[in-house]
Amino acid sequence: MQIQSDTRTLYQRIGGEAKLRRLVQRFYKHMDELPEALPIRWMHADNLQTAEDKLFMFLSGWMGGPQLYIEQFGHPRLRMRHISFSIGEAERDQWIQCMKHALDDVIGDEILRTELLQALYGVADFMRNQPE
**Do residues 43 and 97 make contact, with C-beta atoms less than 8 angstroms apart?**
no
Identify the pLDDT of residue 3. Answer: 59
- Please tell me the predicted confidence (pLDDT) of residue 4: 61
95 Cβ contact partners less than 8 Å away, ≥ 6 residues apart: 31, 37, 40, 124, 127
The answer to whether the CB of 126 falls within 8 A of the CB of 80 is: no
Contact predicate 91/39, CB 8 Å: yes
121, with CB counted inside 10 A (0-12, 13-18, 19+), is middle
Q: Is the pTM of this model over 0.85?
A: yes
User: pLDDT tens across 24-65, in order?
Assistant: 999 999 999 999 999 999 999 999 999 999 999 999 999 999
Q: Domain spanning 14-126: which superfamily?
A: Globins (1.10.490.10)
Q: How far is CA 112 from CA 8, 63, 79, 119, in A?
A: 12, 12, 26, 11
Q: Is 126 left (phi over 0), alpha (psi -120 to 50) or beta?
A: alpha
Tell me what pLDDT residue 7 has. 87
CA neighbor of 112 nearest in space, from 20, 2, 27: 20
